[in-house]
C-alpha cells in the first residue's frame, strides 16, 4: 500500500510538472475514481460507451448505486459500485425489465431500502416509467410501477419516505405530479408546465424544454417539495394543503439572463434551511424555510451550472460548479461564515486493477453529486461518453482558502 501511495505521489508530481500549470490539484488521501465505463472491456465488467452518463446516484452502505442515461436508440443501466473494493460489481441493463427506455435521469428517491426513479423513453410521445429498485448486494430487483403521465417522461424525482410519496417533473411538458406508493394513485398539477407563451419566450433564446425544466426536486423538513418552474420561478408543493405555491421571489439572476434560470440541484441542511444551485449562472441560493426569503449566495466560479450539492459530515455544503463549455470545479461552502473554497477541477487516482500504479483521472463533466449516509464521502457521477465514479473524502477538505 505504501509503495502504491509513493508511486501515486511521484506520478502526480510528474504529471503536475508535465502540465506546466500554475495550480495544485485537490487530491486528498483516500480519494479515488472507479472505472465504471470502458468500451470493449474484455473479461472485465464495465458499462459500454454512450450508455453510461451517471445521471442518478445514491449511496447505500458500502455501495454507490447509479442510474445512467444513454444516447438515443440505446438503453440505460442500473449499476452498483463497491466503495470498499473500489470496483464496479453489478451492471443491470434496464431493457431486461422495461424495453424502450433511454434515460434514468431523474435522480433517486429513497423510501426504506428501496430506491425509486423515473425513466425517459426512446422517441417522442412514449411515456417514461416509474421504477422501484432494490439491491441485495448481488443483484438488482426492478419493479415497473407503470407510466404515471401518458406520453411524458420523468425528468426529476424525489421521495418523502415519511409520507411514502414520490414527486416528479414530467418531460417534455414539465408537469408536477405526486405518486402515492401504497395506492399507486397519481395526481398531476399543470401549474408548472411550460405554457405556449413561455415556449415563444424561450424560442427567442433558442432554449428547449430540456434546458429550462427543474432538473431536481427536494423535500424539506416539513415535507414540502421544492422545485423550479418557468420562467425562473420557485415553487413548493405543500402536502398539508395538496396545493402548489409559487413563491414571490425568483431564482437569483444575472440581469438579462433570467430565461436561463432553473433549479439545477438542491440540498437541505441539518437545520432545515434549503440550499439550491441555479443552472442559469451557477449561483448558490438559500431559502429560509419560515420566511421563504431567497438569498443569493453568489457563485464560486465564473461558469454557469451547479449540477450537484450535498452536505458532508463536517456540516459544510459540497458541490460541483461548472459544466460545458467549461468544466467542473469541486467546491465547499461554509454555511456559517459564507466562505466558498474552490477546490478546483477534481483529480484523483483511477483504480485499474491490472495496472500496478493508478491513472491520474480528472472529472470534467459531472451530472450528479451525493454524500454517503455518514457524510464522510462525496460521490461524483460523471456525465461523459465513458463516465466514471469519483469518490472524495470530506476529511481532506481544507478549512480555509486553498491552496
Q: What is the 3-state secondary structure (H, E, C) of 223-258?
A: CCEEEEECCCEEEEEECCCCEEEECCCCCCCCCCCH
Smallest distance, another protein to C-beta of residue 369, A: 19
Smallest distance, another protein to C-beta of residue 134, A: 32
Residue 3 and residue 242: Cα distance in Å, rounded?
59
Residue 120 and residue 76: Cα distance in Å, rounded?
10
Residue 244 and residue 120: Cα distance in Å, rounded?
24
- Identity of the residue, 151 or 326, whose beta carbon is nearer to another protein in the bound complex: 326
- Identity of the residue, 19 or 399, whose beta carbon is nearer to another protein in the bound complex: 19
Smallest distance, another protein to C-beta of residue 23, A: 7
Instruction: Catalogue the E-assigned strands of 18-113.
Output: 32-34, 53-60, 63-69, 77-82, 87-93, 101-103, 109-111
- Identity of the residue, 346 or 375, whose beta carbon is nearer to another protein in the bound complex: 346
Smallest distance, another protein to C-beta of residue 282, A: 12
- Laid out side by side, the sheet with 140-144 consists of 109-111, 114-118, 130-135, 140-144
- Identity of the residue, 43 or 125, whose beta carbon is nearer to another protein in the bound complex: 43
Which positions lie near another protein, rule CB under 8 A? 7, 10-12, 14-15, 17-23, 38-42, 49-50, 302-303, 325-327, 347, 349-350, 352, 355-362, 364-365, 384-386
- Identity of the residue, 118 or 307, whose beta carbon is nearer to another protein in the bound complex: 307
- Identity of the residue, 172 or 282, whose beta carbon is nearer to another protein in the bound complex: 282
Number of H helices, E strands in the chain: 3, 32
Smallest distance, another protein to C-beta of residue 51, A: 11
DSSP 202: H
| Residue 112 backbone zone (phi > 0: left; psi -120 to 50: alpha; other: beta) | left
Residue 245 and residue 176: Cα distance in Å, rounded?
12
Smallest distance, another protein to C-beta of residue 164, A: 39
48: three-class secondary structure by DSSP: coil
- Identity of the residue, 200 or 325, whose beta carbon is nearer to another protein in the bound complex: 325
| CA atoms within 13 Å, Cβ hemisphere of 255 | 0
Smallest distance, another protein to C-beta of residue 212, A: 21
Amino acid at each position: 500500500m505504501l509503495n502504491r501511495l509513493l508511486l501515486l505521489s511521484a506520478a502526480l508530481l510528474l504529471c503536475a510538472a508535465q502540465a506546466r500549470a500554475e495550480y495544485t490539484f485537490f487530491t486528498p488521501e483516500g480519494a479515488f475514481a472507479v472505472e465504471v465505463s470502458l468500451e470493449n472491456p474484455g473479461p472485465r465488467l464495465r458499462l459500454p460507451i454512450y450508455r453510461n452518463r451517471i445521471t442518478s446516484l445514491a449511496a447505500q452502505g458500502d455501495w454507490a448505486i447509479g442510474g445512467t442515461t444513454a444516447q438515443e436508440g440505446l438503453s440505460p443501466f442500473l449499476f452498483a459500485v463497491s466503495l470498499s473494493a473500489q470496483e464496479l460489481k453489478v451492471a443491470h441493463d434496464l431493457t431486461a425489465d422495461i424495453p424502450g427506455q433511454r434515460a434514468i435521469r431523474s435522480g433517486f428517491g429513497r423510501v426504506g431500502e428501496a430506491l425509486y426513479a423515473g425513466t425517459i423513453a426512446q422517441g417522442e410521445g412514449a411515456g417514461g416509467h416509474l421504477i422501484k429498485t432494490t439491491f441485495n448486494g448481488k443483484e438488482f430487483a426492478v419493479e415497473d410501477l407503470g407510466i404515471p403521465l401518458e406520453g411524458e417522461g420523468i425528468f426529476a424525482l424525489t421521495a418523502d419516505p415519511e409520507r411514502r410519496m414520490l414527486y416528479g417533473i414530467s418531460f417534455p411538458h414539465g408537469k408536477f405530479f405526486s405518486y402515492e406508493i401504497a395506492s399507486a394513485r397519481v395526481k398531476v398539477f399543470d401549474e408548472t408546465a411550460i405554457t405556449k407563451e413561455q415556449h415563444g419566450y424561450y424560442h427567442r433564446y433558442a432554449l428547449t424544454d430540456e434546458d429550462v425544466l427543474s432538473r431536481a426536486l427536494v423535500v424539506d423538513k416539513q415535507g414540502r417539495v421544492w422545485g423550479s418552474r418557468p420562467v425562473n420561478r420557485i415553487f413548493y408543493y405543500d402536502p398539508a394543503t395538496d396545493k402548489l405555491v409559487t413563491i414571490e421571489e425568483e431564482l437569483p439572476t444575472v440581469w438579462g439572463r433570467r430565461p436561463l434560470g432553473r433549479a439545477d440541484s438542491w440540498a437541505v441542511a441539518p437545520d432545515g434551511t434549503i440550499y439550491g444551485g441555479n443552472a442559469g449562472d451557477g449561483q448558490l441560493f438559500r431559502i429560509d424555510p419560515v420566511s421563504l426569503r431567497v438569498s443569493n449566495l453568489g457563485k464560486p466560479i465564473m461558469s454557469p451550472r451547479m449540477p450537484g450539492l450535498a452536505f458532508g459530515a463536517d456540516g459544510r455544503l459540497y458541490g460541483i460548479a461548472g459544466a460545458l463549455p467549461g468544466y467542473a470545479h469541486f467546491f465547499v461552502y461554509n454555511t456559517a461564515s459564507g466562505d466558498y473554497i474552490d477546490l478546483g477541477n477534481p483529480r484523483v487516482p483511477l483504480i485499474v486493477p491490472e495496472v500496478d500504479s493508478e491513472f491520474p483521472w480528472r472529472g470534467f463533466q459531472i451530472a450528479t453529486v451525493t454524500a454517503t449516509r455518514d457524510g464522510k464521502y462525496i460521490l461524483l457521477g460523471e456525465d461523459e461518453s465513458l463516465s466514471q465514479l469519483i469518490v472524495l473524502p470530506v476529511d481532506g477538505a481544507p478549512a480555509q482558502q486553498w491552496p
